[in-house]
Amino acid sequence: ETGVTQTPRHLVMGMTNKKSLKCEQHLGHNAMYWYKQSAKKPLELMFVYNFKEQTENNSVPSRFSPECPNSSHLFLHLHTLQPEDSALYLCASSHGLNTGELFFGEGSRLTVL
Amino acid sequence: RKEVEQDPGPFNVPEGATVAFNCTYSNSASQSFFWYRQDCRKEPKLLMSVYSSGNEDGRFTAQLNRASQYISLLIRDSKLSDSATYLCVLSAGTALIFGKGTTLSVSS
């Protein structure tokens, strides 16, 4: 199993749909993250969880709703998204906060029609 | 001013060339700095940390200048496999802040 696994790898949804992105890490890490990567923009931090508790919400619209049931799993629930939300959503994990090494999944490429 | 600024490139160099990328940052309180590498359609991966005294890892050398709020990455003897986007990264609180990246293309 790869270290950080994301599903689905590709997702197309309409603006009225509800879908979820899933992330699972097999590295025994305590911290998990959601980042958004859009074309010609830097990675944008969305959410940070440490030991299942949310420690950071980077002013993300409420149409994105994270869930972290345990230290190994992280979800991003999506509803009533906009076309400008189309991007690559990357999950990452790390051994703790304040560490420079994040381990990323391959990402979920989302297209909102 | 953006938190992390990089020249997007692309830098097109022949195999064997030496190439340098620069990055400036605005938050003087940033404690830690890193270079990540992202291959086309792949996830970012840590390339190396950047220490105040400068550090080297094989053909890669990273430098930090806190006074000028500037870090650099030097790649010697470029290989085809070095073609990728290089992301300048700094720590800010509990998470990392990424630059847009500099794209390098090494050709034979």
Rounded-to-integer distance, Cα A14 and Cα A17, Å = 5
Interface check B89 vs A, CB under 8 A:
yes
Strand segments (E) across B33-94: 33-38, 44-50, 55-57, 60-65, 70-75, 84-92
Q: Helix (H, G, I), strand (E, B), or coil: what is residue A83?
A: helix
In single-letter form, the type of residue at position B38 comes to: Q
Interface check B50 vs A, CB under 8 A:
no
- Helix (H), strand (E) at residue A93: strand A87-94
**pLDDT tens for each residue of A13-51:** 998 889 999 999 999 999 999 999 998 889 999 999 999
User: What's the gap in Å between the CA of A37 and the closest CA on chain B?
Assistant: 10
Among chain A residues, CA nearest to B90: A100
**pLDDT tens for each residue of A44-96:** 999 999 999 998 888 899 999 999 999 999 999 999 999 999 999 999 999 98
Nearest residue to B89 (alpha-carbon basis) of B40, B42, B39, B44: B44
Q: Which one of A45, A56, A106, A109 makes the best mutation probe of the B interface by having the most chain B beta carbons within 10 Å?
A: A45
Torsion of CA A47, B52, B63, B82, to 10 degrees: -50
Taking all residues of chain B, what is their mean pLDDT, rounded to a whole number? 93
User: What's the gap in Å between the CA of B17 and the closest CA on chain A?
Assistant: 26
